[in-house]
Amino acid sequence: MPEPVRRALTIVSACLAGTPCRYDGRAKPDAEIVAAARRGEVVPLCAEVAGGLSTPRPPAEIRGGDGADVLAGRARVVTDAGDDVTAAFVAGAREVADRAVGLGASHAVLQERSPSCGCGRIYDGGFTGTLVPGDGVTAAALRERGITIEARRGASG
């Protein structure tokens, strides 16, 4: 008897799956992702929590580049008060990327604009609401591992 065809696993930002893990203590649920998580079709992960940051926590942005620059040591992640949280962002990104590879994931759906999960556009590091091209730290770590990523913007909540 032939083996059943196994679908490639998808990693999702935990906040999109309804977990209140964002910096402001809230979730950004996406109805499609919440339903897929309930069916066990996706794996919700939060790199910032995995890196040891609390919920809630101060907002943070990347200064001096994007997530790839952070991973290469050329940029930093700082809070709006100026505290450097780079180590936590890198640790969480590496953990999520390692878990994704270990689970056989080939795809990730991530919360847009985040300093962790943003893909394609992130905030500029000045806490002005200005978006610039680039990926967050986790998005960059996933791309390094060959995982395709896409951005979603969940609902306020």
Residue 120 pLDDT? 93
Sign, Cα dihedral of 103, 40, 142, 95: negative
Residue 5 pLDDT? 45
Would you list the domain boundaries of the chain? 9-152
Residue ranges in the chain whose pLDDT is less than 70: 1-8, 156-157
Question: Could you give the CA distance from residue 63 to residue 94 in angstroms, rounded to a whole number?
Answer: 19
Would the pTM count as exceeding 0.85? yes
15: closest CA among 1, 39, 42, 4?
42
Residue 153 pLDDT? 87
The 10s digit of each residue's pLDDT in 118-145 is 999 999 999 999 999 999 999 999 999 9
Can you tell me which residue has the tokens 């967050």? Answer: 136
CB-based contact 141:96 (threshold 8 Å): yes
Q: Across the chain, where does the E strand assignment appear?
A: 9-13, 42-45, 60-63, 76-79, 105-111, 121-123, 131-133, 148-152
Question: Could you give the CA distance from residue 40 to residue 1 in angstroms, rounded to a whole number?
Answer: 25
Residue 157 pLDDT? 46
